[in-house]
Amino acid sequence: MNSDRRVFVTGLGAVTAIGRNLSEFWQNLIAGVCGIRPVSLFDASAYRTQTAAEVRDIPDGFLSEAQRRRMSRADRMGLAAAAEAIAAAGLDLSREDPTRVGVILGGGTSGLLDSEEFYERHLRGRKARPSKVLNHLPDSITDRVAQHWGLGGIKSTITTACSSSANAMGYAFDAIVSGLADVVITGGSDVLARLTYGGFNALRSVDPDPCRPFDRERRGLSIGEAAGILVFEEAEHARRRGAPAPVEFRGYGVTSDAFHMTAPDPSGVAGGRSVRAALASARIDAEKVDYVNAHGTATPQNDSAETAALKAALGNRAREIPVSSIKSMIGHCLCASGAIEAVATAMTIHEQTVPPTIHYEHPDPACDLDYVPNQARDARVRVALSNSFAFGGNSTVVVFGRV
């Protein structure tokens, strides 16, 4: 592969429970604002728990009423975050060769909330409207982003559950480095649905209170929803048009735990492989890592296994650097978690400020790193990792660096 092609991040967009755009999201992250609240999208009274980090306001005013009617919430959130990222990149896509601009997103729930309604009506023997299933497949958002901006390059949707959008960024990186594309709109958008809410509750993996990553008393995750979009651009392409490019996507590692469908390898050996693969891809030594944006779901198993993985892969460096989980504020955004956490990681490098892990009270001997408890911190961050671990043992680590 043509290794002299590098990938700069020229635009970011975010729609989350704690902010409808990048600056609101970042301000609230740094302030330690919690977006985990009572569920309002459906009646949650019959579930074991009733809280989630919902997006209450989607800034989709640029879409017509007719466009919005055809779209799922995930589509509208994804388009809103993409519009913000493309504008921030200063990209006039009408001036680009459309065949050289791709869209590679991570997806999963997509229009599931609507198709659940279709299915429920069908199960009750009632007529169900076909428009309710039009956006069921996770690739809908990818096609819609390409449609909205008239893009004719590669389109792909990665569906590896909670590591989907991290892998999408990896695929976007490979697509640019290999010369398949010059610009790729990447990241993901994923929303709350009864399937996922019921599923994690059925597994007894949801904390009835806002989640407490790395805390000894942690009792599970909080489900969230978000759209995080990043504009990846070949470095020369970005330089030629004078694009803002403070952050580089340096590489990624994707590995399989080959351990268990839902449980992480407690020894950290499997997770450590993923971190090492990422560092090898980025050609960076463990000593150069300044920050880790953790997967940090707040399930008892994940947080101790992830801690072990970081110690296995980074050695002593793991104890010297900040490691935080923003899921304590925006919940676990499932297939969009890798994307929104990547946005936060890029901002950490840009702002030289590390977001905190909130709700942290009780140190756990099995989680003995510096989790940036409750208060954001200024820090020199030149290289940062973001971890995403998924059902199926799909483990992905992405690497960002300061340009």
Partner 1 sequence: MAHRGVITGTGAVCPLGRSSEEFYRRLLAGESAIRPMTTQERGTLQATHVARCDGFSPQPEIPPMKARRLDRGSQFALVACSQAIAEAGYDVSADPEAIGIAIGTGSAGAGALTEFLRVLLTESPEAAPPFHFPNTVANAPASQVSIELKLYGPNITVTQKDPSALNALLFAALSIASKRARAMIAGGVDEWNPVYALGFDRVSALRGEKRSSGIVQGEGAFALLLEQEEAARARGARPLARLSGIAVAGVPTEPYRFAPDPQAMKRAVSGALADAGVAPGQVGLWFPSRDGVEEMDAAELEAMRAVFGSPPAEILVKQAIGEMAAAGGGQLVAACRALADQDGPFGGAPGPRRALVNSFGAGGNFLAAVLEEVPREAAS
Per CB under 8 A, contacts with partner 1 among 5-34 are none
Distance CA 213, CA 66 (A): 41
d(CA 115, CA 215): 37
Which of 120, 236, 285, 320 binds partner 1 (CB under 8 A)? It is 120
Dihedral angle sign, alpha carbons of residues 85, 88, 93, 96: negative
By C-beta, is 311 or 391 nearer to partner 1? 391
Nearer to partner 1, 135 or 324 (CB): 135
- Could you tell me which of 155, 158, 157 has the C-alpha nearest to residue 180? 155
Do 360 and 370 contact (CB within 8 A), yes or no?
Answer: no
**Span 331-370, contacts to partner 1 by CB under 8 A:** none
Q: Does 142 bind partner 1 (CB under 8 A)?
A: yes
Stretch of residues binding partner 1 (CB under 8 A), selected from 11-19, 23-31, 129-137, 341-349: 129-137
Contact positions with partner 1 (CB under 8 A) in 51-80: 70
Which is nearer to partner 1, 161 or 367 (by Cβ)? 161
Is residue 401 part of the contact set for partner 1 (CB under 8 A)? no
What phi and psi, each to the nearest 5 degrees, are found at residue 280?
A: -65, -45
| Subset of residues 162 to 201 that bind partner 1, contact rule: CB under 8 A | 167, 171, 174-175, 177-178, 180, 194-195, 197-201
Residue 40, both tokens: 């309002």
Pick out residues in 198-217 that bind partner 1 (CB under 8 A).
198-204
Based on the residue annotation, tell me whether 359 is a catalytic residue of this protein: no
For the question of residue 295 being annotated catalytic, the response is yes
Q: Is 97 in the site for partner 1 (CB under 8 A)?
A: no
CA of 28: how far to CAs of 60, 189, 326, 329, 344, in Å? 21, 20, 11, 9, 11
Contact 223, 336 (CB under 8 A): no
HSE-CB at 2 with a 13 A cutoff on CA atoms is 13
Does the annotation count 34 as an active-site position?
no
How many other C-beta atoms lie within 10 A of the C-beta of residue 277? 19
Is residue 392 within the footprint of partner 1 (CB under 8 A)? yes
Closest CB to partner 1 among 152 and 315? 152
- Cβ-based nearer residue to partner 1, 119 or 352: 119
**Residue 35 Cβ vs partner 1, minimum distance, rounded to whole Å:** 23
Window 210-269: residues binding partner 1 (CB under 8 A): 253-262
How many Cβ atoms from other residues are within 10 Å of residue 215's Cβ?
21
Instruction: Select the span of 15-23, 32-40, 123-131, 370-378 touching partner 1 (CB under 8 A).
Output: 123-131
Max distance between CA atoms of the chain, in angstroms, equals 61
Task: Give bridge partners of residue 13 from the DSSP assignment.
Answer: 229
We find the least distance from the C-beta atom of residue 273 to partner 1, in angstroms, to be: 6
Tell me which residues are annotated as active site. Answer: 162, 295, 332
